[in-house]
Chain A
Amino acid sequence: MTDTKDTQTSGLGFMGQRVQRVEDDRLLVGKGEFVADVLPEGVLHAAFLRSPFPHATINSINVTAAARLPGVHKVFTGAELNAITNPFLPMFMADGVYTPLYKCMSDEKVRHVGDLVALVVAESRYVAEDALELIEIDYTELTPVGTIDQALEPNREQLWEKADGNVLGNLSDSFGPVDQVFSRADHVITRTFECPRQTNQPMETRGTVVKVDKATGHLEIHNTSQAPHALKWALAAMLTDEGGIKNFGKFVRNADRRQAFTAAAKDFLSKNKESLKAQDNAGQVSQLKKDKSLLKHQGKMAMGLLASTDYPTVKAGDIGGAFGSKGPITREDVAVAAAAKKLGKSVQWIEDRVENLMDGGQAREEQFTISMAVDSDGTLRGMKVDFVLDQGAYPGFPISSLIIPLLWKLYMPGPYNIEAFELNGQIVATNKGRVVPYRGPWANETWLRERMLDVVARELNITPADLRAKNVMREGSMPDAFITGPTIDETMSVAKTFDRALEMIDFDQLEEDKAAAEAKGHRLGLGIASYHEAAPGPPNFFSSAQPGSDMLLSEDGRAEIQADGRIVMYTSQSPHGQSHETTYKQVAADEFGVPLEDVEIVWGDTDRTQFSFLGTGGSRGGPLGAGVMRMTARELRRQVTDVAADMLEAASSDIEIIDGNIHVAGVPAKGITYADVAAKVATDKRTTSGPVFTEQMQYDGVGNGGWSVATHVAWVDIDLETGLVEIPRYLVVEDCGPIINPGVVDGQIRGGVAQGVGAVFYERHHYDEQANLLSTTYMDYLVPTAMEIPHIDIEHMETLTDGENDARGTGEGGMIGAPAALTNAVSDALGVEVYEQYLPPYRILELAGVIDR
């Protein structure tokens, strides 16, 4: 193992420091630029008419009165916008799964409360909303599908006519000798668990501002997107409105485009040879069995992309949080862009909070039946899980909720030695809002497993801590890979965090505290949960989920030194609270040996940054985004050093750079600057502006990629009179490798735990059995306040590897561990098993036997 400090070259050592955020210099004085702040001269405002019914057919729509309202520029019916846009296609398919195609608006049938029916563009949002009230629609209501059980009824009304009932996917996989393990184990313990719907709820809602260049028709789109490049390409494809053949002709006649395409295609094929070879077409076969139109639409959009010479520019400025919800490309993004393009005028759409609660992103409504095979001495042998996932009405794009069970498949057995694992389940459609990734989208595997471990421990009459200690993978006896495929290295250090957590619990004190609580009519309990997450994970992580699915995952980086010596680093990440600007400056400044202010970080503008399919997501900003910063910076520094060595008449190996002073080691007084070196190169190249050094590269992470791991411990104090729960202590022992900025890492962990506290005690996105949404305001959906979130103790363990950029992601973990630790603590406090994730006061009192169910 190497101490990463060795690889730092600046002499300034920003890495690992609690550097205050440069973002705050604009954000804290009201000078940020969020999407709602983008108000170009003459911009029009859009508002959507949304369905009040969960499930209905549209018989007729009359917009005459609305269109006549003064100030209204245009009322678009769903059919009008659908006629000028292409559908959302499945991009990620799997055997046994059908993904319905859909358009940006609903013109025949609505499938959830809040479904998009018409779009008004007017001079102000006030007028646009007035116009919505004048639109007349005649609906015929259909039987809604409001629950998972209803979705599984064989003769229920279908959301999607080509599906099998309301089941969109059947998935099943197994690892190891499942039958043998289950027949031989001393005990098989089976339980059923359920998690209700949650929603991400960033404080800033979604929004898009489409600026139309009057002269060229070019679209510049300001959007709250976690993945601006994906949005750009999706919009380019979905707004293509000419027929395939005509577009193909255009492409053939354009020699430059043709050559550029051929070169890009060759490059792509050679870079992804292995992944492409590994892909089977079972997913596509499953899809085409249900709906062949995929091919036709793919062809048309591909031709449109080839023929087009002008793709939209997407810009993501400051973004007010997302937690996964702003990664997917949404129907509103497409509809507003199509409307602006059609009108030739700039249009702003800002989602309101009620809309955000209806369809801004929902998550985690899942049911599980889990069986654990275990021996009497507590040795875990095998695990079988059946699941049903409620994906809502419209599949997420470009990645649907299919990704969740694929990740469950890899993660569910957890950091424990186990011989066999089987996962079977179904994805169902219901008349509810869209499921999106929500901070650790797969997190319920940890909740399920860790809750079940406590159940098993109690059945076997051993402590939850002892059961975990007996089965957790430990250094020395660790297998090379999980039975589900992904390889394991020293970063899979769950046991270290677990052992440390146990050291930090005073079990004697706990018994005293429990007694004291009981004396005042309270109950106190403690819960433990451990997990590992791929952040970024080993190279075979995604291919273990589905062969060939590891394409498009590496991170591209680019760096420049301008003729005047300015250092400019480009990232394809799209920050929305993670402090990328600060941490990337730390990493790059260390490499270059300059102060933070000498490095400029550029993000969010698709004209300036390099392509990325994912943008910011998947806890990749530290390992991959910062990694490619480091590597490109290092290469540029090497180039600068060579030139400086010439200028200083020394060997490159003798050059040192400290605080921007480039000098021969030991003689800083005779140093030169980046500006001097850049000026020299500029003179040699006979140029005065633009970049004089550039570097681009692709980066897949170091070595084995690495796991981010943690053990959470929650203490809860329950008031049996009110059912209110306090959290007197919460401890996270985590290992994300070397920390770039502890202030940022701690913030990510605390924020994640806070959302876990919300999920367990306060937040439920409540649809009734008829699929009517009941939590449509913040009076009904309770985001926790400073009164509810406890102080969170964080203990860092920094397992280092030989890698150069060894940082592992930490954005999602807080939310992965917290629901498990908290529900385990409640169970311990009340002495009853807990099989659901949402425990509001009335439910606590029911579980405690204080009130009847």
Chain B
Amino acid sequence: MSLPSVNAPIGQTLPISVTINETAHSLDIEPRRSLADVIREDVGLTGTHLGCEHGVCGACTILVDGEPSRACLMLGVHADGAEITTIEGLAEPDGTKHPIQEAMKQAMSFQCAFCSPGFLMSTVALLRDNPNPTEAEIREELSGNLCRCTGYTSIVEGVETAVTLLGSSALGSTGDQATGGVA
């Protein structure tokens, strides 16, 4: 990932190429625009949410080259050349939910669900790296995401349900396959 100069004058744009949910985008963006704003406003994928814009709440979590990252803390220009997955990239093109989305629905994990894109993306990475986490590991791994509605138990149960669904799906339960090919 190359880091272009971010000292360009206001109003000047820089070209970037970025792949989001397997679609290539060539964008001209102001260097100061956050990656979250680029994804939400320039690309129009508003499923990534902004809860704090200072890196604490995790609502803006996306996968950048497979790693969970806070889109509010990155500049759009920093994503030049990157492969990004957002919440919109989890389900199948025909609308079939990703097993983790399905599991979170079954577990009734969320209420307002404003936080859910961040939790879902963090969970994708968590279960890819650790397909059978303990409850303590789940709580620890998800402690970078805030939810104000649920008290978290239902989200932890959602992750546990996802372990079961992924384990029993044809995808098997190891490595990249566990994420349904994401990241």
A residues whose Cβ falls under 8 Å from a Cβ of B = 18, 20-21, 23-25, 27-34, 36-37, 39, 70-71, 126, 130, 201-205, 318-321, 323, 352-353, 576-579, 743-744, 746-748, 750-751, 753-755, 777-779, 783, 785-787, 789, 791-792
Given contacts A750-B150, A783-B148, contact A28 B110 (CB under 8 A): yes
Chain B positions within 8 Å of A319 at CB level: 112
Chain A positions within 8 Å of B52 at CB level: 353, 777-778
Q: How far is the CA of A847 from the CA of B104 in the complex (A)?
A: 41
Which one of A37, A323, A353 contacts B53 once the chains associate, using CB atoms below 8 Å?
A353
> Are A24 and B105 interface neighbours, CB within 8 A?
yes
Interface string of B102-138 (1 = CB under 8 A from A): 0011101011111111001000000000000000001
Whole-angstrom distance between the Cβ of A525 and the nearest chain B Cβ: 21
> Are A29 and B88 interface neighbours, CB within 8 A?
yes
Which one of B30, B95, B116 contacts A126 once the chains associate, using CB atoms below 8 Å?
B30
Interface string of B1-45 (1 = CB under 8 A from A): 000000000110000000000000000001011000000110001
Chain B positions within 8 Å of A204 at CB level: 49, 51, 112, 114
> Are B47 and A24 interface neighbours, CB within 8 A?
no
Q: How far is the CA of A20 from the CA of B104 in the complex (A)?
A: 10
Whole-angstrom distance between the Cβ of B56 and the nearest chain A Cβ: 4
Q: How far is the CA of A27 from the CA of B115 in the complex (A)?
A: 10
> Are A787 and B46 interface neighbours, CB within 8 A?
no
Whole-angstrom distance between the Cβ of A382 and the nearest chain B Cβ: 37
> Are A34 and B108 interface neighbours, CB within 8 A?
no
Q: How far is the CA of A70 from the CA of B9 in the complex (A)?
A: 13
- With an 8 A cutoff between CB atoms, is B151 at the interface? yes
Chain B positions within 8 Å of A744 at CB level: 108
Which one of A29, A126, A130, A751 contacts B97 once the chains associate, using CB atoms below 8 Å?
A29
> Are A21 and B50 interface neighbours, CB within 8 A?
no
- With an 8 A cutoff between CB atoms, is B82 at the interface? no
> Are A203 and B146 interface neighbours, CB within 8 A?
yes
Which one of B95, B114, B150 contacts A751 once the chains associate, using CB atoms below 8 Å?
B150
Interface string of B72-104 (1 = CB under 8 A from A): 000000000000001110110001010001001
Given contacts A28-B120, A36-B46, A576-B112, contact A778 B156 (CB under 8 A): no
Whole-angstrom distance between the Cβ of B141 and the nearest chain A Cβ: 9
Chain B positions within 8 Å of A789 at CB level: 151-153
> Are B101 and A28 interface neighbours, CB within 8 A?
yes
Given contacts A31-B47, A203-B51, A783-B148, contact A321 B104 (CB under 8 A): no
Q: How far is the CA of A204 from the CA of B11 in the complex (A)?
A: 29
Chain A positions within 8 Å of B151 at CB level: 747, 750-751, 753-754, 789, 792
Given contacts A321-B114, A778-B52, contact A747 B156 (CB under 8 A): no
Taking residues whose C-beta sits less than 8 angstroms from the other chain, chain B's interface range is: 35 or more
Given contacts A30-B86, A321-B149, contact A786 B142 (CB under 8 A): yes
- With an 8 A cutoff between CB atoms, is B71 at the interface? no
Given contacts A21-B105, A203-B57, contact A783 B49 (CB under 8 A): no
Chain A positions within 8 Å of B32 at CB level: 126
Chain B positions within 8 Å of A39 at CB level: 41, 46
> Are B139 and A28 interface neighbours, CB within 8 A?
no
Given contacts A321-B148, A577-B149, A751-B150, contact A30 B87 (CB under 8 A): yes
Chain A positions within 8 Å of B139 at CB level: 786-787
Q: How far is the CA of A829 from the CA of B56 in the complex (A)?
A: 32
Chosen A-B contacts, 12 in total, with CB atoms closer than 8 Å, are A29-B88, A36-B50, A203-B115, A204-B114, A318-B112, A579-B111, A750-B151, A777-B56, A779-B54, A786-B142, A786-B156, A789-B153
Q: How far is the CA of A70 from the CA of B11 in the complex (A)?
A: 9
> Are A28 and B148 interface neighbours, CB within 8 A?
no
Which one of B53, B57, B116 contacts A27 once the chains associate, using CB atoms below 8 Å?
B116
Chain B positions within 8 Å of A126 at CB level: 10, 30, 32-33
Q: How far is the CA of A754 from the CA of B91 in the complex (A)?
A: 31
Which one of B49, B56, B95, B97 contacts A320 once the chains associate, using CB atoms below 8 Å?
B49
> Are B46 and A30 interface neighbours, CB within 8 A?
yes
A-facing residues in B147-171 (Cβ within 8 Å): 147-156
> Are B59 and A203 interface neighbours, CB within 8 A?
yes
> Are B97 and A353 interface neighbours, CB within 8 A?
no
Chain B positions within 8 Å of A783 at CB level: 57, 146, 148
> Are B153 and A28 interface neighbours, CB within 8 A?
no
Q: How far is the CA of A352 from the CA of B150 in the complex (A)?
A: 22
Q: How far is the CA of A777 from the CA of B51 in the complex (A)?
A: 11
Q: How far is the CA of A755 from the CA of B41 in the complex (A)?
A: 33
Given contacts A126-B32, A747-B154, A786-B152, contact A577 B112 (CB under 8 A): yes
Whole-angstrom distance between the Cβ of A483 and the nearest chain B Cβ: 35
> Are B101 and A29 interface neighbours, CB within 8 A?
yes
Given contacts A353-B54, A754-B150, A786-B142, contact A30 B48 (CB under 8 A): yes
